[in-house]
Chain A
Amino acid sequence: MSAARAPGLLGSPALLSWIGVLALGVLLPFLVYPVLAMEMLCFALFASAFNLLLGYGGLLSFGHAAFFGIGAYVCGHAAKVWQLDPLLALACGTAAGVMLGVAFGAVAIRRQGIYFAMVTLALAQIVYFVLLQAPFTGGEDGLQGIPRGALLGVLDLQSESVLLGQRAAWGLYGLVLAVTVSGHFLIARVLASPTGLALRSVQEHEPRARSLGLPASGLKFGMLVLSAGLAALAGALKALVLGLAALTDATWQMSGEVVLMTLIGGVGTLAGPAVGAGLLRYLHHTLAGLGSWVTVVLGGIFVFCVLVFRRGMIGEWLAWWQRSRAAVGSSGR
């Protein structure tokens, strides 16, 4: 920990962080019910994709559920009706998200702040009504009975087995973990690239970035499309896990929830949104017995977090860690 290297996920050296993430991913299904673990991972990817836009592009989208939802529906349709391989079904869902991202971007990318949020909200409502009314989406019921299929026709994702005393569809879990970690790796990689630096400069001072010749709108558009694609991938993954593309995936409440996840975990940090997403899904599950009171409890937690951890849980932790490191550095001289 002594060497001042490039900060990784939590501020510590990068490689160590990724090993930690993988270890946590392997442990997770032994700590919570495996299907819940997979759902937590899907939402972690969704929140991180959203954070790419809010935390690093400075754009608050209030329509990200549209990408999540379209990913779930298209993947579900591809797996169920076209009977495609799970990987191809995931690819179809992601591609749909990318195309929707391009459409959203074409309309909204030059809008700033609250206007961007309003335009994305309006577009997402259009997508919601299409998913409600279109003949192949199952209306209120959503798309049910989506088969998990067999990966590359070989690895059955449906069958469960017992591993170290825990019964789960381990093949599916492996796929979900691999896709989620890869998605996060892609995000980290993009942010650390020349494009990432250019994007940060646009977020810091857009007119200045433009005055240096950086394609500010183009960069933001690119991030929106990437974010939309990853959010759709997360939705597609969730559809495979639960065998269901639910209409709730595309509601504005879902767009709100991903904002919540990101803020609770820490906007603009790599690990924060994933942690926030995992925590919220876990609470949803464990507090399910409270019925509609869940919303009240979660609202209370959100208010508490905003008041106490202004930077989010991981954001506060990072700030504390940097302060203590600075203190150690100065007292060591």
Chain B
Amino acid sequence: MSAETAPILACRGLRRDFRGFAAVEDFDLAVREGSIHALIGPNGAGKTTVFNLLTRFLPVSAGRILLRGEDITALPAERVVRRGLVRSFQISAVFAHLSALDNVRVALLARTGLVWQFWRARSTLDAFTDEAHHHLASVGLADLAHTPAVALPYGRKRALELATTLARDPAVLLLDEPTQGMGIEDVARITELIRIAARGRTVLMVEHNLKVVATLADTITVLARGRRLAEGSYAAVSQDPLVREAYLGHGGDAHA
């Protein structure tokens, strides 16, 4: 399944130590452009650590991270975003006391040099209003634009977070457990939203819900104890005896 074209996002020999304990060790990953790539594994396998390393929220102990072939291992998080790599968070991360509209507008603002123009009036932000409404509508939040994010129900907060992330127009979208803590209805809605968001983009997602993974992912990487255990399509990975033993064996709900 190794692609002929160079991967859009890759890491080689990635390692991260926490007080002598290697949370991630000798980890290689290659994400094909335009694909939906899922990162799965048992609790504590190091999935979120990999995310934090790739998005530069954590310094790496060893290894290299490449975005479109360029080394981004030493860049600060804010600079990685400008190169098109944008993440979401495990716990719904919204700006609680800003309206849904302002949550999206601040993401649009972040793309411009206006951030530093402290002498400008609030009406400068009106330039972003139409585009922000468009992003809100695309996740079904058109009627809730003026509601403070803190007042939205949980599933809607995740939808708002997705709209905010998409407003940054990322080339590579990193989603950290997008359906965590959701009811069945919300899971179906978010799955559909991700499928739409993935058009013309590359998605790398950490996800616990194997049904979501089976539905969405083109490629799956299985992580266990900080190392790569297997990689391939859902059908291939779910048949892998190593994976069954390490992960699906006690998962119970896996229809392998």
Q: Does any Cβ of A come within 8 Å of B111's Cβ?
A: yes
- Tell me if B115 and A219 are in contact (CB < 8 A): yes
Chain B CB within 10 Å, residue with most, of A204, A213, A214, A216: A213
Q: Which residue of B lies closest to A211 (CB)?
A: B87
Interface size class of chain B, counting residues whose CB lies under 8 Å from the partner chain:
35 or more
Interface size class of chain A, counting residues whose CB lies under 8 Å from the partner chain:
20 to 34
Q: Does any Cβ of B come within 8 Å of A24's Cβ?
A: no
Task: Give per-residue flags for A175-210: 1 if the beta carbon is below 8 A from chain B beta carbons, else 0.
Answer: 000000000000001101111111011001101111
Residues of B within 8 A of A210 (CB): 57, 77-78, 81
Interface window among B28-36, B118-126, B194-202, B240-248: B118-126
Residues of A within 8 A of B94 (CB): 205, 208
Q: Which of B100-127 contact A (CB under 8 A)?
A: 102-103, 105-107, 109-111, 114-122, 124-125
Q: Does any Cβ of B come within 8 Å of A8's Cβ?
A: no
Q: Which residue of B lies closest to A223 (CB)?
A: B118
Q: Which residue of B lies closest to A200 (CB)?
A: B98
Q: Does any Cβ of A come within 8 Å of B55's Cβ?
A: yes
- Tell me if B168 and A192 are in contact (CB < 8 A): no
Q: Does any Cβ of A come within 8 Å of B96's Cβ?
A: yes
- Tell me if A192 and B121 are in contact (CB < 8 A): yes
Q: In the complex, A131→B165 CA distance in Å?
A: 49
- Tell me if A189 and B89 are in contact (CB < 8 A): no
Q: Which of B56-77 contact A (CB under 8 A)?
A: 57, 77
- Tell me if A201 and B122 are in contact (CB < 8 A): no
Residues of B within 8 A of A222 (CB): 116, 118
Q: Does any Cβ of A come within 8 Å of B12's Cβ?
A: no
Specify which of A194, A201, A207, A209 is in contact with B117 (CB 8 Å cutoff).
A194
Q: Does any Cβ of B come within 8 Å of A23's Cβ?
A: no
- Tell me if B121 and A212 are in contact (CB < 8 A): no
Chain B CB within 10 Å, residue with most, of A194, A201, A204: A194
* Contacts known (A6-B122, A197-B125, A214-B115); A207 close to B168, Cβ less than 8 A: no
A323 shortest CB reach to chain B, Å: 15
- Tell me if A214 and B106 are in contact (CB < 8 A): yes
Residues of B within 8 A of A138 (CB): none
Residues of A within 8 A of B109 (CB): 194, 197-198
* Contacts known (A193-B120, A200-B95); A214 close to B125, Cβ less than 8 A: no
Q: In the complex, A196→B118 CA distance in Å?
A: 7
Q: Does any Cβ of A come within 8 Å of B179's Cβ?
A: no
Task: Give per-residue flags for B43-61: 1 if the beta carbon is below 8 A from chain A beta carbons, else 0.
Answer: 0000000000001010000
Task: Give per-residue flags for A291-306: 1 if the beta carbon is below 8 A from chain B beta carbons, else 0.
Answer: 0000000000000000
Q: In the complex, A193→B55 CA distance in Å?
A: 29
Q: In the complex, A197→B107 CA distance in Å?
A: 11
- Tell me if A205 and B122 are in contact (CB < 8 A): no
Chain A CB within 10 Å, residue with most, of B109, B111, B124: B109
Residues of A within 8 A of B117 (CB): 193-195
- Tell me if A213 and B78 are in contact (CB < 8 A): yes
Q: In the complex, A6→B123 CA distance in Å?
A: 11
* Contacts known (A195-B116, A197-B105, A204-B97); A213 close to B110, Cβ less than 8 A: yes
- Tell me if B124 and A193 are in contact (CB < 8 A): yes
- Tell me if B96 and A205 are in contact (CB < 8 A): yes
Residues of A within 8 A of B55 (CB): 211
Q: In the complex, A193→B122 CA distance in Å?
A: 5
Q: Does any Cβ of A come within 8 Å of B211's Cβ?
A: no
Q: Does any Cβ of B come within 8 Å of A34's Cβ?
A: no
Q: In the complex, A205→B157 CA distance in Å?
A: 14
- Tell me if A213 and B82 are in contact (CB < 8 A): yes
- Tell me if A213 and B121 are in contact (CB < 8 A): no
- Tell me if A212 and B107 are in contact (CB < 8 A): yes
Q: In the complex, A192→B119 CA distance in Å?
A: 9
B179 shortest CB reach to chain A, Å: 19
Specify which of A189, A192, A194, A212 is in contact with B81 (CB 8 Å cutoff).
A212
Q: Does any Cβ of A come within 8 Å of B222's Cβ?
A: no
Q: Does any Cβ of B come within 8 Å of A58's Cβ?
A: no
Q: Which residue of A lies closest to B81 (CB)?
A: A213
Q: Does any Cβ of A come within 8 Å of B236's Cβ?
A: no
Known: A189-B118, A204-B97, A213-B110. 9 other contacts (CB 8 A): A189-B121, A194-B114, A197-B105, A204-B98, A207-B93, A211-B57, A211-B86, A211-B87, A212-B86
Closest 3 CB pairs of A and B: A213-B81, A195-B118, A208-B93
